């Protein structure tokens, strides 16, 4: 720090120290990044990805509708889906391999076979970085992703495809795999395609010994191996790989129906189901309840859970995370030049606001530029929003969400900036801590004024806006219609299509219904044991979810395919193609809550009245299909009229009472939770004020 006695000596020492800090911890890192983006090393992760997206991958929607299709046709809200183009991939690999090895007939045949294999087996999904399409009508409306992060980040639903979202998704897949997969037989971790291509190109001299499925070590890998994490790193409770497999086998090898008899027995023994959604469903012809009783249903469930205990209902997948490969090296150069101009404008104005000691220190252009670049880049990062602990739609968090939605939809303001510089560890440690409190206050004030001046200048077109160096996830996943190269006979077909236009397949291939019984039962089991339920992403949410209460069947997320193996035997495959994003009933005890979960997970109140009921109805419907194939007649069909009338009255009163009790419990619990939440907020505010 500065003292009057040795002012000049301290100032010189500080300038030298800050210059060294900038050189080693700011400029060096920035220059390495710029070199990597503008001229990535051959066969590096980014180099391979860029070439693939430029020359060998094509949006799936464009395959179906032609090259002139609007790119929005191939976009989901969070991911774009691509297919390998076999001929283009082969041409690309031939060009790469020719630089490292001599191309003989053996190598050319290996490349052709390898290209065919990749294009037949894998689909590539990449996270959107800017657009967030939302379909209100026939055509999607596109919003900046920062708007959605501001709206939903505080509710525990990260939207920007950064590391936080990637880890959240991985944890949800690991949880779902415990109930829907069978890890010992079929690993959920698929091959790391980028590493596969890298090794194939370098090992082309001996292509006969190349094993793609040996590259399944890491569930998530950051480009250039910055971090490497296996499935066990995302397992519930931090269990290791062996413990995960043991737990997975426990969840799959026993139906454990006695645990859920309290809920399933009344459901199957009832003659009708009562409720708003049930009434609407009956009016439109979808309301028939199963005629099997609990004993009959339980027998079928137990037999099928044992029969298909090693069946997996998920697709192997693997994720890499790094800079957006859809941005070319030429575009990165433009972004870098643009950003340097933005930082230069900011730094000049910042320096004009300083005086005395600070002006002298920041007259060093290296120090000024390094500090300014770090400040402006941090300003443009998406804020890391604190998750609101609210668990109910009755909360102020829900009101804030509605207000934000209206604000963004009608006014289209500039997205929020990252104003919390206390979280920038390098700025704190290598700059601010070198100054006394008064100097820090002056520097922070000048920095704030300069940032708002910069914002005003950007909007006045006096200087360019700094552009983020976007990073995102790239996921490779087995295709639905791939299974060890066996022939596809039917599919892939969504469960929505299966129960409507293609009901003939349920009769033609009885094991489809059997596997769907196990699938829906395992989902129900997951909910009862963990309080989580998968977002099935049903179509037409307003009609199917809120009106009909249909969550599980009217969706594209569940796909079925019929295959013929090498011996000519037919078999089916049932998969959930996207097991990410879970809803949860909020635990009563705060200790059981995840601090990263908020209203997006807890408060929509869909898990209880809609999702779980729909799961049970889907389970009953598939059990009916199995019973029909097995010629099992429901015992309720043989009941006399008086018994049916009596049971109908019992169902009416019991279910109405239960619905009322559940509604009262939910409302009371929500109010209690919100009162507690607001008291905690008030106490924290008082504590901060006192401090």
CB-CB contact of 242 with 507 (8 Å)? no
pLDDT of residue 668: 45
3-state secondary structure 492-503: EEEHHHHCCCCC
Beta strands 140-144 and 131-135 are antiparallel
Q: Does residue 685 carry a pLDDT above 50? A: no
CB-CB contact of 541 with 461 (8 Å)? no
CB-CB contact of 366 with 17 (8 Å)? no
Q: Does residue 71 carry a pLDDT above 50? A: no
pLDDT in tens, 434-466: 898 999 999 999 999 999 999 999 999 999 999
pLDDT of residue 116: 95
pLDDT in tens, 12-23: 888 889 999 999
pLDDT in tens, 203-250: 886 777 778 888 888 999 999 888 889 988 898 887 888 999 999 999
Q: Does residue 9 carry a pLDDT above 50? A: no
Across-strand partners of 83?
58, 123
Predicted confidence band at 595 (pLDDT cuts at 50, 70, 90)? low
CA–CA gap between residue 188 and residue 357 (Å, rounded): 59
CA–CA gap between residue 397 and residue 598 (Å, rounded): 9
CA–CA gap between residue 217 and residue 461 (Å, rounded): 49
Q: Does residue 165 carry a pLDDT above 70? A: yes
pLDDT of residue 287: 57
Assigned token pair, 338: 């643009």
pLDDT in tens, 262-295: 989 988 887 655 454 454 444 444 556 788 889 9
Identify whether 492 is preceded by a cis peptide bond (ω within 30 of 0): yes
pLDDT in tens, 405-438: 555 555 555 667 888 898 899 999 999 998 989 9
Backbone angles phi, psi at 504, to 5 degrees: -60, -30
pLDDT in tens, 297-340: 999 999 999 999 999 999 999 999 999 999 999 999 999 999 99
- CA 149 → CA 129, 140, 318, 387, 389, distances in Å? 12, 18, 25, 11, 17
Burial of 250 (0-12, 13-18, 19+ CB in 10 A): exposed
Instruction: With residue 432 as reference, give the H or E element that holds it.
Output: none
Percentage of residues in the chain with pLDDT exceeding 90? Answer: 46
Assigned token pair, 462: 């006096």
* Choice between 657 and 242, residue whose per-residue pLDDT is larger: 242
pLDDT of residue 266: 85
Burial of 111 (0-12, 13-18, 19+ CB in 10 A): buried
pLDDT of residue 340: 97
Least confident of 54-68, 80-94, 421-435: 54-68
pLDDT of residue 215: 84
Predicted confidence band at 642 (pLDDT cuts at 50, 70, 90)? low
**What is the arithmetic mean of pLDDT over 50-61?**
91
Q: How many CB atoms lie within 10 A of CB 411?
A: 7
Assigned token pair, 436: 């006394």
In the chain the first and final C-alpha atoms are separated, in Å, by 25
pLDDT in tens, 485-538: 899 998 789 998 998 899 999 999 999 999 999 999 999 999 999 888 887 766
Backbone angles phi, psi at 133, to 5 degrees: -75, 135
CB-CB contact of 189 with 216 (8 Å)? yes
- The average confidence (pLDDT) of the chain is 80
Instruction: With residue 133 as reference, give the H or E element that holds it.
Output: strand 131-135
* Choice between 661 and 129, residue whose per-residue pLDDT is larger: 129
**What is the arithmetic mean of pLDDT over 625-643?**
77
pLDDT of residue 649: 65
Predicted confidence band at 377 (pLDDT cuts at 50, 70, 90)? very high
pLDDT of residue 149: 73
**What is the arithmetic mean of pLDDT over 134-141?**
57
**What is the arithmetic mean of pLDDT over 395-400?**
50
pLDDT in tens, 456-493: 999 999 999 999 999 999 999 999 889 988 999 987 89
Q: Does residue 344 carry a pLDDT above 90? A: yes
Q: What is the DSSP string of 327-364?
A: S-HHHHHHHHHHHHHHHHHHHHHHHHH--HHHHHHTTS
pLDDT of residue 68: 40
pLDDT of residue 387: 63
CB-CB contact of 498 with 625 (8 Å)? no
């Amino acid at each position: 720090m500065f003292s009057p006695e040795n002012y000049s000596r301290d100032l010189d020492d500080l300038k030298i120290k800050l210059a060294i800090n900038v050189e080693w911890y700011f400029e060096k890192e920035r220059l390495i990044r710029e070199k990597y983006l503008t001229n990535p090393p051959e066969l590096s992760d980014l180099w391979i990805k860029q070439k693939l997206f430029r020359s060998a991958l094509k949006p799936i929607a464009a395959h179906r509708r032609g090259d002139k299709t609007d790119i929005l046709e191939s976009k989901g809200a969070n991911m774009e889906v691509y297919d390998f183009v076999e001929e283009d991939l082969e041409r690309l690999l031939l060009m790469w391999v020719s630089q490292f090895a001599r191309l003989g007939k053996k190598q050319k045949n290996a490349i052709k076979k390898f290209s065919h294999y990749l294009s037949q087996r894998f689909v590539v999904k990449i996270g959107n970085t800017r657009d967030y399409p939302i379909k209100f009508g026939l055509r999607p409306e596109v919003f900046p992703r920062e708007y959605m992060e501001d709206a939903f980040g505080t509710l525990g639903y990260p939207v920007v495809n950064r590391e936080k979202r990637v880890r959240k998704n991985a944890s949800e897949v690991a949880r779902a795999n415990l109930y829907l997969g069978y890890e010992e037989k079929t690993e959920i971790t698929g091959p790391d395609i980028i590493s596969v291509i890298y090794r194939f190109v370098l090992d082309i001299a001996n292509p006969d010994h190349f094993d793609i499925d040996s590259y399944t070590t890491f569930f998530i890998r950051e480009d250039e191996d910055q971090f490497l994490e296996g499935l066990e790193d995302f397992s519930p409770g931090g269990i290791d790989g062996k413990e995960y497999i043991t737990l997975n086998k426990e969840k799959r090898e026993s139906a454990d129906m006695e645990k859920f008899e309290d809920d399933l027995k009344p459901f199957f023994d009832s003659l009708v189901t009562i409720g708003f959604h049930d009434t609407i469903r009956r009016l439109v012809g979808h309301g028939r309840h199963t005629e099997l009783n609990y004993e009959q249903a339980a027998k079928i469930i137990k037999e099928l859970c044992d029969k298909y205990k090693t069946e997996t209902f998920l697709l192997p997948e693997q994720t890499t995370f790094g800079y957006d490969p859809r941005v070319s090296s030429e575009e990165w150069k433009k972004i870098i030049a643009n950003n340097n101009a933005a930082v230069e404008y900011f730094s000049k104005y910042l320096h004009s606001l300083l005086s005395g000691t600070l002006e002298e220190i920041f007259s060093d252009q290296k120090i000024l530029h390094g500090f300014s670049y770090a400040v402006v880049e941090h300003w443009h990062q998406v804020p890391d929003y604190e998750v609101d602990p609210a668990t109910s739609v009755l909360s102020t968090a829900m009101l804030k969400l509605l207000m934000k939605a209206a604000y963004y939809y009608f006014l289209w303001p500039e997205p929020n900036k990252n104003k919390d510089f206390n979280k920038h560890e390098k700025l704190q440690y290598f700059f601010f801590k070198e100054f006394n409190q008064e100097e820090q206050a002056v520097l922070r004030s000048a920095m704030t004024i300069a940032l708002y001046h910069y914002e005003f200048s950007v909007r006045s077109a006096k200087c360019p806006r700094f552009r983020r160096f976007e990073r995102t996830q790239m996921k490779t996943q087995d295709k639905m219609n791939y299974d060890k190269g066996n022939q596809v006979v039917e599919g892939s077909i969504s469960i929505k299509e299966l129960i409507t236009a293609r009901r003939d397949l349920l009769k033609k291939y009885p094991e489809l219904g059997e596997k769907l019984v196990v699938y829906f039962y395992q989902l129900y089991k997951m909910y009862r044991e963990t309080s989580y339920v998968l977002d099935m992403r049903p179509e037409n949410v307003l009609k199917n979810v809120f009106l009909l209460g249909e969550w599980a069947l009217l969706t594209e997320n569940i796909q079925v395919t019929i295959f013929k193996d090498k011996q000519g035997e037919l078999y089916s495959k049932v998969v959930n193609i996207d097991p990410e994003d879970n809803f949860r009933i909020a635990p009563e005890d705060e200790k059981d809550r995840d601090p990263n979960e908020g209203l997006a997970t807890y408060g929509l109140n869909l898990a209880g009245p809609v999702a779980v009921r729909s799961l049970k109805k889907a389970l009953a419907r598939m059990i009916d299909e199995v019973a029909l194939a097995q010629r099992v007649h429901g015992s309720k069909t043989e009941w006399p009229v008086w018994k049916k009338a009596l049971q109908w009255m019992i169902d009416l009163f019991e279910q109405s009472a239960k619905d009322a009790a559940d509604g009262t419990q939910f409302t009371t619990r929500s109010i209690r939770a919100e009162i507690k939440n607001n008291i905690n907020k008030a106490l924290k505010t008082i504590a901060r004020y006192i401090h």
